[in-house]
C-alpha cells in the first residue's frame, strides 16, 4: 500500500486512537514530546499485536490535511530516524 493510500485509510478511520495520532506540526515539533509519542504508540501497537502505529504530521485533529515543514527534506527524515533510535536504545546500552 502506498503512502497516499495509507494516509487516506488513516484519515477515513474513526480518528485518533492508541495507535494513530495526528499532529499539525507546522514548522517543527519538540523532540522530547516526539519521543514520548513514539514510545506510547509503539507500546500500544505491541500490546495489541500490531506491526505498526502512526504519528502523522501535517494533519489537524479534525483530519484536515494542512501540510508540514517539519523535517521536510528526506535527509532530515533519515536523521530523525537515527536520533530516535539513538535515544531509545536499551537502558543497559546507555550505561
Per-residue pLDDT at 49 exceeds 50: yes
* Residue range 56-88, pLDDT digits in tens: 888 888 888 888 877 765 666 677 777 777 776
In a domain, 46, yes or no: yes
In a domain, 84, yes or no: yes
Percent of the chain with pLDDT over 70: 82
**Domain ranges, residue 29:** 18-88
In a domain, 94, yes or no: no
Domains of the chain: total? 1
In a domain, 10, yes or no: no
DSSP the chain: --HHHHHHHHHHSSS-BTTEEEE--SS---HHHHHHHHHHHHHHHHHTT-S--EEEETB-TTS-B----TT-SHHHHHHHHHHHHHHTS-HHHH-
In a domain, 79, yes or no: yes
Amino acid at each position: 500500500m502506498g503512502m497516499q493510500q495509507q494516509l487516506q485509510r488513516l484519515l477515513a478511520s474513526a480518528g485518533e486512537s492508541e495507535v494513530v495520532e495526528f499532529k499539525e506540526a507546522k514548522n517543527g515539533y519538540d523532540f522530547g514530546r516526539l519521543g514520548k509519542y513514539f514510545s506510547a504508540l509503539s507500546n500500544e501497537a505491541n500490546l495489541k499485536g500490531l506491526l505498526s502505529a502512526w504519528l502523522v504530521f501535517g494533519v489537524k485533529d479534525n483530519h484536515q490535511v494542512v501540510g508540514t515543514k517539519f523535517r521536510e527534506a528526506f535527509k532530515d527524515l533519515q536523521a530523525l530516524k537515527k536520533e530516535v533510535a539513538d535515544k531509545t536504545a536499551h537502558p543497559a546500552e546507555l550505561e
